[in-house]
Amino acid sequence: MKSEIDHLESKIHWGMVVDLDRCTGCEACVVACRAENNVPTAGEDQAARGRAIHWLRVERYWEGEFPEARVRFRPVLCQQCEAAPCEPVCPTFASYHNPEGLNAQVYNRCIGTRYCANACPYTVRFFNFYNPVWDKPLHLQLNPDVSVREVGVMEKCTFCVQRIKAAEIQAKAEKRELKDGEFNPACVQTCPPKALIFGNLNDPESEVSKLARSNRATVLLGELNTRPNVTYLERGSWSGEEGGPASAG
């Protein structure tokens, strides 16, 4: 409850909107996330044992019946829940809610019990079952702003918190407020059709807060009352003909 009070008082409450009408399933966001956050690639053996790590995945599903069936895509990342089930179960407070609405993860507090991953209904937390290796020269691609997580540590998306902090420090040095759209997480920056929108939900004029109030807005597994800070804009209903949705709302 304390964390909720913190960011009600804070000027900033980070959130994201995912417009499902725009997502083409290209997975550029997935690649950008891996590159930005030093996410290791599992080899064939580890992947076969269910140990692949994807902070962001694009789920594919079908709507309609043949011959009107259409493939749909839904990017799924940490939902940065306000009532996050992963937080109260962590015995070391490695998973906690920060004053800006992020579900943060402190790697060097994590002792690897994996309670948080078991509690998360979105399966967006990943355990390092092995020490990641980047064969030369791939080690040169590692982002120096992000730590490489070792075996025994849980990891996840934090809306590229390293970019958030860099922008906040820059704005503070220049004695000004952060501007809407001044920076973005890697996935948002990369998405070609701009299906991902990031910003401050506490700013009523920000693009993300306007979209989050749209009549297409919905949340994943809303019945669990986890109160995510990621909002999905549902697709309009389709007429079955090529050319776009029949209605947007």
Nearer to ligand SF4, 23 or 102 (CB): 23
Q: Tell me how far CA of residue 173 lies from CA of 92, 99, 167, 207, in angstroms.
A: 34, 21, 10, 25
Asked whether position 220 contacts ligand SF4 by CB under 6 A, the answer is no
- Chain residues 33-92 in contact with ligand SF4, contact rule CB under 6 A: 58, 73, 75
Nearer to ligand SF4, 123 or 131 (CB): 123
- Among the listed ranges 90-98, 148-156, 188-196, 221-229, the one in contact with ligand SF4 (CB under 6 A) is 188-196
- Residue indicated by tokens 């309609």: 64
Among 193, 244, 245, 249, binds ligand SF4 (CB under 6 A): 193
Asked whether position 117 contacts ligand SF4 by CB under 6 A, the answer is no
- Among the listed ranges 85-93, 163-171, 187-195, 237-245, the one in contact with ligand SF4 (CB under 6 A) is 187-195
Q: What is the DSSP string of 144-187?
A: TTSPPP-TT-EE---S-HHHHHHHHHHHHHTT-PPPTTS---HH
Percent helix / strand / coil, the chain, rounded to 5: 25, 15, 60
Residue count of the chain, please give it.
249
Nearer to ligand SF4, 43 or 192 (CB): 192
Pairing of strands 230-233, 14-19: parallel
- Among the listed ranges 4-12, 77-85, 105-113, 192-200, the one in contact with ligand SF4 (CB under 6 A) is 192-200
Among 8, 24, 88, 245, binds ligand SF4 (CB under 6 A): 24
With a CB cutoff of 8 Å and minimum separation 6, the contacts of 96 are 3, 87, 90, 103, 104, 106
What does the block give as tokens for 38? 């030093």
With a CB cutoff of 8 Å and minimum separation 6, the contacts of 243 are none
Task: Output the smallest distance, CB 90 to ligand SF4, in A.
Answer: 29
What does the block give as tokens for 35? 């590159």
Could you tell me how many residues of this chain bind ligand SF4 (CB under 6 A)? Answer: 15
Asked whether position 191 contacts ligand SF4 by CB under 6 A, the answer is yes
**Residue 237 is inside which H or E element, if any?**
none
- Chain residues 196-215 in contact with ligand SF4, contact rule CB under 6 A: 196
Among 27, 82, 168, 180, binds ligand SF4 (CB under 6 A): 27
- Residue indicated by tokens 């040095």: 173
Asked whether position 26 contacts ligand SF4 by CB under 6 A, the answer is yes
- Among the listed ranges 2-10, 22-30, 80-88, 113-121, the one in contact with ligand SF4 (CB under 6 A) is 22-30
Instruction: Give the footprint of ligand SF4 on this chain (CB under 6 A).
Output: 23-29, 58, 73, 75, 190-191, 193, 195-196
